[in-house]
Structure 1
């Protein structure tokens, strides 16, 4: 089980870590895009979301308070789905479809991250191949 969960963690986080790099190295360009989508304080929000992605992704990957890391990813994913991929606002059919795909992807990933949060918090120190146990205990 330990190895299976480690492989799952390794497969789960590259999307978040690569997005973190983009948010932190292209903050101005991504902030302009976020501003065009109506995100308030888009520049700082872009940098802040990059930090959330980086810390959350590394936490899950390395198993350092992985429950907290999974929760940070949920905190990123849900507002991003609602603010950046509001398909219901799109007039163009193709743009609406594209935004709906991204919205659904973010919501599905938020669900998976929420399950990881619950899993790590419930299993506690019994799960090997992590550097620390969970921060939360929901058992």
Structure 2
């Protein structure tokens, strides 16, 4: 693992672990801001619990687990995708700068909104990072290419040896050997 990955992943993950722990310990602090987004998401996704507090805790748990996995480099691509997916409703719930009336509050919320947007960009880059190892898609394509190449070589070698073998068999048959 490169030094940049070893240092960068925990740095990116730290915000999620800290925020997730806060959501798990004190979900009541976040419920009022999350309520409008939770209602909209819960209507569309029947699997989710109806309670806003439970969803805040669930989101916090995903942030803690995903952040820990990303920071430790365990399943970092999956962890980054999970964090990116949960960052969308988190950002929409907590940083609705377009609804703020006070100009300083609006500016502050816009900064936090853009910060979360940039974190999402980092997570998407982390989700695409294969750690210098070929991706499964690349490995599958090259394995298929290698199989086609091997099949072509087998077909050519069979054709190259079949004609002389048939000729030798015919000669043997005429000679009665």
Kept in 1, the 8 Å contact 2:96–2:109? The answer is yes
Change (3 A) 1:86 1:138: farther
State the alpha-carbon separation in 2 of the partners of residues 32 and 82 from structure 1.
13
Counterpart position of 2:14: 14
**Matching residue of 1:84:** 94
Structure 1 spans left out of the alignment, 5+ residues: 127-135
Instruction: Give the aligned partner of residue 47 of structure 1.
Output: 57
Give the Cα–Cα distance (whole angstroms) in 1 for the partners of residues 33 and 59 of structure 2.
Answer: 14
Q: Could you tell me which runs of 5 or more consecutive residues in structure 2 were left unpaired when the two chains were aligned.
A: 40-50, 139-177
Shift of 1:138: 4.8
User: Which residue does the alignment assign to 1:116?
Assistant: 126
Judging changes above 3 Å, is the alpha-carbon distance between structure 1 residues 33 and 89 closer, same or farther for their aligned structure 2 residues? closer
**Per the alignment, do residues 29 and 117 of structure 1 end up closer, same or farther by CA in structure 2, a change over 3 Å counting?**
same
What SS class does the counterpart of residue 91 from structure 1 fall into? coil
- What's the offset of the Cα at 1:85? 1.1
Larger Rg: 2
2:117 corresponds to 1:107? yes
Instruction: Identify, as 1 or 2, the structure richer in helix.
Output: 2
Q: What is the TM-score with the length of structure 1 in the denominator?
A: 0.79
Contact conserved, 1:32 with 1:43, CA < 8 A, in 2?
Answer: no
Match status 1:26 vs 2:26: yes
Is the CA contact (8 Å cut-off) linking 1:118 and 1:138 kept in structure 2?
Answer: no
Residue 111 of structure 1 deviates from its aligned partner by 0.6
Count of residues paired in the alignment? 127
